[in-house]
Structure 1
Amino acid sequence: MNPFGWLNDQLLRMQWLSDLVRTLVEQGMGLPMSGRVGASVHFFIYDTAKIFILLSLLIFGISYVQSHFPPERTRRILGRFSGVRGNVLAALLGTVTPFCSCSSIPLFIGFTSAGLPTGVTFSFLISSPLVDLASVILLASIFNWPIAIAYVTVGVVLAVVGGSLIGRARMERHIEPFVFTSPVMNGDESVPDVRERLRFARDQVRDIVRRVWLYILIGVAIGAAIHNWIPASLINGLLGQDKPWSVPLATLVGMPMYADIFGTLPIAEALVARGVGLGTALAFMMSVTALSLPSIVMLKRVVRTPLLATFVGIVTGGIVLIGYLFNALAGAFT
């Protein structure tokens, strides 16, 4: 027996939970797993429970680490670097900060008013909602570790490249003037003790679960429907890996939506299970998290149309390229 494989199956994929839910569905509810109803009920209960368990544990642990990187400290760290180094650091810090696309906008204002380069702030703005440490574990639990690591890598690269291109375009004149005069906190921050960090981690779990639980339930329900009720021929006809338009279509479909990565993962899982290309499913997931309509509307309040169009164009183009890349290399991840 491979110990790592056993731990991966039992701790991340939670095979024990899948078996327990199977027993509940077949013996407790009398629904055969061979039927669409039984399979759908199993998918919904198992994925919902697994995501909430992993999410709670991961957010608690990660938030404890993140308590060392409050917004003001993040700003001070980024302020020490410029150029590509600043973009790389901003993208990496974005992966360890608990901010969705909408909550990243106030940080963008704070960073810009503090004098950070525009390109650096956009690298953070791209990376923060797109990649976080919890998503790595959840991706590994649904797919595998190579896919999870590759996703994080391309997400960071997109943030670095996107921020660098925006920085080189020198579009600071397209940021609304009030952003540069917003108040910035410069005082020293007290260092929390262990008890305060644990309390912060607990509160983060409550806050994030409260914000994403509905999206998770909706995402799992859609995933169950795709997995068991929508004919594979219909899905493949629209988003099949052999369809050249599948990646751009998935990207465009995801843009008007608003959901956390945790709500889109079950949909991506179901799409891949029904024959949709891995890159197509990931492009949809990245589009929902990085280019959601609410975040674009909020960003429009602080930047003018040329800069907003540049940001959306660069991120959209990057997501499409990443989707095609994952589709082309899907065999390497199995």
Structure 2
Amino acid sequence: MQILKAIWDFFQYQILAMKWLDGLIGRGLSAIGLDTSARLGGSIEFFLYDVIKITILLCSLIFLISYIQSYFPPERSKRILGRFHGVWANCISALLGTVTPFCSCSSIPLFIGFTSAGLPVGVTFSFLISSPMVDLGSLLLLMSIFGAKVAIIYVIVGLIVAVVGGTIIEKLHMERYVESFILSAGSVDIESPDLTKKDRLIYAKEQMLSTFKKVFPYILVGVGIGAVIHNWIPAEWVSLVLGSKNPFGVVLATLIGVPMYADIFGTIPIAEALLYKGAQLGTILSFMMAVTTLSLPSMIMLRKAVKPKLLALFIGICTIGIILVGYFFNAIQGFII
């Protein structure tokens, strides 16, 4: 057991968290005369370490996930989903969301395609909720900062929110609130040509570069905000607003996150800094989930596909689910961290 624990700790801290990189950057900054224990030096160290770490993880994950995705083009995904019914269809749809785009705006075109293909609306909404909230990238990045227990539980409860949310929409028969042009579009089910291994590698590389170009600005902004929180904002302020003394911290964090737009890679540095400063885990995760799932730009895009009543129901389900998840994590924080 000790050997397995040592192997896991090495994977956790040196591969995912890249603690060696933090030490290397700290020594490099000290060598050029910067005091990393001071605010400015600490901010620069935090910024460089997180940007490099997240970039390495981001590119590696996108390449791997895109390679896997090459075996599951939209046509094949539609056929797979079409084989399941009831809550099982919602479960498979939510799981499919874990290996698809990293932000809600990227997920909406796939949601529209699945709905146009005739899949039940509740099933496609399970996909739409899980895709930005619980992708494989979020699992590994959360493991690199919060540990395996937090990451695994986060993914499980996120999938539960997606399945429950899609099931509620299905039971309420909300199909009539999908815009008519989506329902009447239809779908031509064309077999994707067989790809060679080289083709799949090229596809994965192109997806990695394309996604990286879109996401990198948000990484810089997120890490920059995290560096400021980490080194300049007093811990007492963060603890007062988002700590255990404020019972409405989860609700506040969720409402703050909704109008923002970022993905999991841009919000994790902020979450890391907030946790270090004394914010509660569930409050931080609620903020992350709200930003990635209910961003204002994605809601504007979704409004083009669904009518206001269905959009309001979707926002309401996600908001309530995120708040409940936040309070749940706050309640178990002492057992998992």
Normalized against structure 2, the TM-score is what?
0.96
Residue of structure 2 aligned with 1:211, choices 211, 214, 225: 214
Residue of structure 2 aligned with 1:110, choices 108, 113, 117: 113
Give structure 1 regions of 4+ aligned residues with deviation exceeding 4 angstroms: none
Q: 1:265·1:285 contact (CA, 8 Å) conserved in 2?
A: yes
Residue matched to 1:273: 276
Q: Which amino acid aligns with 1:53?
A: I
**Residues 209-259 of structure 1, C-alpha deviations (whole Å, 9 max, x = no match):** 101000000000000000110111111221112211100100000000110
Mapping for residues 24-173 of structure 1, pairs under 5 Å: 24-28=28-32, 30-173=33-176
Q: Which amino acid aligns with 1:9?
A: Y
Q: Does 1:292 align with 2:284?
A: no
Q: Which amino acid aligns with 1:164?
A: T
CA distance in 2, matches of 1:207, 1:163: 30
Offset of 1:185 from its aligned partner?
Answer: 2.7
CA distance in 2, matches of 1:163, 1:183: 21
CA distance in 2, matches of 1:241, 1:205: 39
Residue matched to 1:6: 10
**Residues 132-155 of structure 1, C-alpha deviations (whole Å, 9 max, x = no match):** 111111111111011111111111
Please list every run of 5 or more consecutive structure 2 residues that lacks an aligned counterpart in the other structure.
none
Q: Does 1:21 align with 2:14?
A: no
Residue of structure 1 aligned with 2:238, choices 220, 232, 235: 235
Offset of 1:60 from its aligned partner?
Answer: 1.1
CA distance in 1, matches of 2:13, 2:125: 37
Residue matched to 1:261: 264
CA distance in 2, matches of 1:231, 1:323: 23
Offset of 1:98 from its aligned partner?
Answer: 2.5
Offset of 1:8 from its aligned partner?
Answer: 2.1
Q: Which amino acid aligns with 1:329?
A: I
Compare 41-50 and 232-241 and name the one that shifted more.
Answer: 232-241
Describe the SS at the equivalent of 1:329.
helix
CA distance in 1, matches of 2:68, 2:81: 18
Q: Which amino acid aligns with 2:218?
A: Y
Q: 1:254·1:285 contact (CA, 8 Å) conserved in 2?
A: yes
Offset of 1:58 from its aligned partner?
Answer: 1.5
Offset of 1:99 from its aligned partner?
Answer: 4.9
Please list every run of 5 or more consecutive structure 1 residues that lacks an aligned counterpart in the other structure.
none
Q: 2:118·2:186 contact (CA, 8 Å) conserved in 1?
A: no
Q: Which amino acid aligns with 1:187?
A: I
CA distance in 2, matches of 1:298, 1:59: 24
Offset of 1:6 from its aligned partner?
Answer: 2.1
Q: 2:73·2:192 contact (CA, 8 Å) conserved in 1?
A: no
Offset of 1:100 from its aligned partner?
Answer: 2.3
CA distance in 2, matches of 1:176, 1:57: 38
Q: 1:254·1:284 contact (CA, 8 Å) conserved in 2?
A: yes
Residue matched to 1:317: 320
Identity %: 56
Q: Which amino acid aligns with 1:96?
A: V
Q: 1:113·1:181 contact (CA, 8 Å) conserved in 2?
A: yes
Offset of 1:183 from its aligned partner?
Answer: 4.3
CA distance in 2, matches of 1:3, 1:132: 25
